[in-house]
Amino acid sequence: MKHYFVSVFTALTLVVLASQAFAADRFADVNITTQQVAENVYMLRGAGGNIGVSSGADGTLIIDDQYAPLAGRIDAALKAPGGDRPRIVLNTHHHGDHIGSNAEFGRTGVIIAHDNVRARLLSREGLSASALPLVTYAESVTIHFNGDELLLIHLPQGHTDGDTMVWLKQANVLHMGDQLFNGAFPYIDIASGGSVDGYISNLRRVIRDMPSDITIIPGHGPLADSAAVARCLAVIEDTRRIVVAGLEAGKDDASIAADLGDYTSWSQGFVSVDRWIDILKTDAAQRGSLK
């Protein structure tokens, strides 16, 4: 019996060690790449949400900061084009693939986000105080930095209930956070206050209010433009119509997926066709739109 418990303990220890090694190895091969978007404005890609960067005489400002294990590599990537450690960190929302390095960069920089982002982060156990936004806002706030005017605009009930898009006016660049998955089905976090109607409304707002020639940094995917936003809007509206019609006809998920046809090519990464159908089903049930 003694040998049995020793064996069980050893097995459990190996499982824990293996899981820790997997967590570390998950980011082992991640490289942070830098793409210039405009003068003094860059996009960093690695693992998680795309990072926007303003680098100039006032210092460095970043929009989102991916996962915690990547903080050192992000820091090195910021310094490569002559930047430095961020003075300001803007969070587009509260998901971990966008705010994971808050704790590190928040030690020396000021984190700014929507009111609901701080509220949601306060509910997380074990989160470092340095990871919390020090400045929050309700509707909009303007930051004057590196000769540009950055307007933070709340996008209500879209991806979450605390989304921010950041408009760098002089650079003519817009960071949309996860209000845009360029070329892919979006993840709409209904449990965190997101909704399909809100997501659609926010995309329409971008098309209506932003300059038609603006360059867009999406939450995920390559650089985008206004046409990419319009395509995303059309896909969401059309696939929702197909899914709701299928549900009303009593079809199962497999049949509905077949009805989506070429739209299945928008299944990428975290949001598969099945997950997108599930999001649309959950949203339709909450709205009471099914007959």
**Where exactly are the structural domains of the chain?**
24-234
Whole-prediction pTM? 0.91
Is residue 38 within 8 A of residue 46, CB to CB? The reply is no
Least confident of 7-11, 65-69, 243-247, 278-282: 7-11
8 Å CB contact between 184 and 235: no
The per-residue pLDDT for 11 is: 43
Tell me, letter by letter, the H, E, C secondary structure of the chain: CHHHHHHHHHHHHHHHHHHHHHHHHCCCCCCCEEEEEECCEEEEECCCCCEEEEEECCEEEEECCCCHHHHHHHHHHHHCCCCCCCCEEECCCCCHHHHCCHHHHCCCCEEEEEHHHHHHHHCCCCCCHHHCCCEEECCEEEEEECCEEEEEEEECCCCCCCEEEEEECCCCEEEEEEEEECCCCCCCCHHHCCCHHHHHHHHHHHHHHCCCCCEEEEEECCCECHHHHHHHHHHHHHHHHHHHHHHHCCCCHHHHHHHCHHHHHHCECCECHHHHHHHHHHHHHHHCCCC
> According to the model, what pLDDT value does residue 24 have?
58
**For residue 23, what pLDDT band results from cuts at 50, 70 and 90?**
low
Q: Which of 271, 204, 259 is nearest to 237 (CA)?
A: 204
Q: Which tokens sit at 282?
A: 């959950």
Return the CATH superfamily for domain 24-234.
Ribonuclease Z/Hydroxyacylglutathione hydrolase-like (3.60.15.10)
291 confidence band (pLDDT: 50, 70, 90): low
- Cα-Cα end-to-end distance for the chain: 61
Residue 92's pLDDT band (cuts 50, 70, 90): very high
Q: What's the CA gap between 40 and 10, in Å, rounded?
A: 54
